[in-house]
Amino acid sequence: MPSPTNTLTAEPSATLPEGAILSVQGVGKTFTLHLQGRQRIPVLAGLTFDVPRGSCVVLGGESGAGKSTVMKMVYGSYGAHAGRILLAHQGATLDLATAQPREVLAARRETMGYVSQFLRAVPRVPAIDVVAEPLVERGVERQAARQRAEEMLARLSIPERLWTLPPATFSGGEQQRVNIARGFLAERPLLLLDEPTASLDARNRGVVIELIRERLARGVGMLAIFHDHDVRDAVSDAIVDVAAFTPGAGA
Ligand SMILES: Nc1ncnc2c1ncn2[C@@H]1O[C@H](COP(=O)(O)OP(=O)(O)O)[C@@H](O)[C@H]1O
Ligand SMILES: [Mg+2]
């Protein structure tokens, strides 16, 4: 006789493996193009991998394989149509595939950071506050947050005269470094990196490799996309070939 509570509990295998910050289990994603007669584009099927704490897992596969789609599903920007995306969040397990918007926002504030490919700069906010904001959101006093933001901007070679200016007019490389400073400053247990070094020179690529290694040594787990093979080889612990999870691939 089925117990009435059973209908609400998750399947019994929905657990995070020991030591993992993230576990992606059997995830599928199909886009529906509503403006083109609801044409359906299956992009991923059966995607499965774990991110252990303190290690860097890199998403591989050619352009169009679905790497950015995986990132956006983990960050809660896209839903998943099948499977589970389990995150160790504040002593419990959160399934990002089915989480409520307020749970996704709490996970972003406390548990996962994201360095996107491009900075989405808010008009008129100076670079220093763009970088300090995630710390302030988590309760760090504004002056202390600004001081730490300055240290990070200096480390990434952003000239001091730019700190008080909004990044909208900065060069591509400067904007990317502001973006990196912001993503790395507020330390969270999982960091998502979508081509963070694409527009950087060798020196700043070196700084980013250092930042990544420091965080890994402190137990932060990372999920990353790198175009740059030097950076990838310097920091990756495992590579997941996303193309192998394209519907029909290898079948
Ligand atoms: N919002 C979307 N709507 C429809 N199709 C999309 C959307 N986002 C991505 N796709 C499609 O999904 C596939 C994978 O894209 P993407 O994840 O950006 O690949 P990658 O990052 O590996 O280059 C591509 O065919 C792309 O056109
Ligand atoms: Mg991409």
Does any domain span residue 128? yes
Where in the sequence is the domain holding 140, given as residue range(s)? 124-178
Residues contacting 135, CB < 8 A, separation 6+: 144, 145, 148, 149, 185, 186
State whether the beta carbon of 44 lies less than 6 angstroms from ligand 1: no
State whether the beta carbon of 246 lies less than 6 angstroms from ligand 1: no
| Total domains in the fold of the chain | 1
Does any domain span residue 134? yes
* For residues 213-226, average pLDDT: 97
Q: How far is the CA of 158 from the centre of ligand 1 (A)?
A: 33
Confidence band, pLDDT 50/70/90 cuts, at residue 249? low
Percentage of residues in the chain having pLDDT higher than 70: 93
Does any domain span residue 160? yes
Q: How far is the CA of 64 from the centre of ligand 1 (A)?
A: 6
Does any domain span residue 89? no
pLDDT given at position 7: 42
Does any domain span residue 70? no
| More confident position, 152 or 120 | 152
- For residues 182 and 127, is the Cβ–Cβ distance under 8 A? no
Confidence band, pLDDT 50/70/90 cuts, at residue 97? very high
**Over the stretch 7-33, which tens digit does the pLDDT of each residue have?**
444 454 578 999 999 999 999 999 988
Does any domain span residue 3? no
Does any domain span residue 233? no
Helix (H, G, I), strand (E, B) or coil at 247: coil
Mean pLDDT, the chain, as a whole number? Answer: 90
| More confident position, 99 or 14 | 99
Whole-structure pTM over 0.75, yes or no?
Answer: yes
Q: Is the pLDDT of residue 98 over 80?
A: yes
State whether the beta carbon of 66 lies less than 6 angstroms from ligand 1: yes
Whole-number Å distance between alpha carbons of 160 and 234 = 30
Residues contacting 99, CB < 8 A, separation 6+: 76, 107
State whether the beta carbon of 64 lies less than 6 angstroms from ligand 1: yes
**Over the stretch 133-191, which tens digit does the pLDDT of each residue have?**
999 988 999 999 999 999 999 999 999 999 999 999 899 889 999 999 999 998 899 99
Does any domain span residue 242? no
- Which two structure tokens, joined as six digits, stand for 224? 């990353």
pLDDT given at position 14: 75
CA dihedral over 158, 235, 223, 89, signed as positive or negative: negative
Q: How far is the CA of 66 from the centre of ligand 2 (A)?
A: 7
Whole-number Å distance between alpha carbons of 55 and 39 = 38
* For residues 101-130, average pLDDT: 90
pLDDT given at position 13: 53
